[in-house]
Amino acid sequence: MLADRYGLDLTTSSSAARDAYVAGCDGVLAAAGNEIADLTRAVEQDPNFALGHVALGRAQFLVANVAEARKAVARARELAPGTTAREQSHINALCLGMEGKPVEALAATRAHLAAHPRDAMVAAPATGVFGLIGFSGRTGREPEQVEFLEVLRPHLADDWWFQMVYAFGLEEIGRLAEAQVQIERSMAANPRSAHGAHIKAHVLYEMGEDRAALAYLRQWMPAYPRDGLMHCHISWHVAMFALTLGEVDEAWRVYQQQVHPGGSWGPFINTTTDAVAFLWRAELAGQQRRPQLWSEVRDYVLRFFPKAGLAFADVHCALACIASGDTASLARIVQELQERVASGRYPAGSVVPQLVSGFAAYEKGAWREAIGIFETALAETVRIGGSRAQRDLAEHTLVAAYLKDGRLAQARKLIAARADRHPSVPVAGLAA
């Protein structure tokens, strides 16, 4: 029987299908940009290759090609009975996540990995800040992520994919020296991994190494295909590092060409959250508001996220409405959030409407009101998902509110309290 790169048996007799599958899976794990083409070739070579279909579904799902993902998932389910017990468990765990059942998917993932700890494709959806654990809404999700990976470490410690996701987990809990070792090992083995380049940028951000991060991404990005999964988000990092370092023209150029709606390429959630985050943080750093850009972002986010439901997106959608002065849409979002929280069907709980009210208070110049809200909400922001770097949106707004209310000492105290991380804080007036 043929096997994948991890030594796991595959129900296919086609070496060509196996080879395309292995390349496609590595593409998914690295966000290389070739994954859909490779996995399409795998199922063309063997139309009955069940794992080829579910992997193709995963690749389509990641770029929000929902209809194509559902077709692939359905086909994998049909073919599953003709595969091994390991493959049936693999298919079930991945399909549950794409069928909108994250709790069941994580339980199935844990059970599967207990028996097959080298199955990286099953482990991958549970890793990262947008994964099954990252979007769980739990306050302890960051250490939970590391604990999840520690179980796999004896089996995958020498694998570039594991080193990469392990680095991200370590970085998010402040173990920066260990994270740097892991990501450097990973990138030495697979230097064109987009997820790896992204995670290296995060490690450097947390260490306060903005210039090194910008230099690295400037040389890494040109060879990355524009239709790669991470193109928009890595471009956001480039724009943010440039802004922080005072390279304002570059920051705006990269933002408008590669992050702003119409210029970006990537999943809707990346364009939504990255565009909003850049525009708001640019203003915190002292840039003038650009109303036309905000209006375009507001139109985009309401098109692709017409209803509240995903906490990380909801915060950014509401902020786009706040900054663009769309009070009607904001009121609708707030009502939906309140209804979801009251129903108990919102994993992130009440912190999202809290954050929305804090941003709204800041926008109207009610500094003390904003300060009170953000001080209360800050410890719970982990529940919305996203990385520490992304959630700094809330902390930097609190810093700005302190400064506008004449509380420079409190702003500096808040920053000094972050003993396990040292990112720059590009907020106008902080250096005064």
Domain ranges of the chain: 15-99, 272-416
Half-sphere exposure of 220 (CA within 13 A, CB side): 26
Half-sphere exposure of 125 (CA within 13 A, CB side): 32
pLDDT at 432: 62
28: number of Cβ within 10 Å: 25
CATH class of 15-99: mainly alpha
Q: Which residues pair with 3 in a beta bridge?
A: 9
Provide block-wise average pLDDT over 10 residues at a time, the chain (432 residues). Answer: 96 98 98 97 98 98 96 98 98 97 98 98 97 97 98 98 98 98 98 98 98 98 96 98 98 98 93 98 98 98 97 98 98 97 95 98 98 97 98 98 97 93 96 72
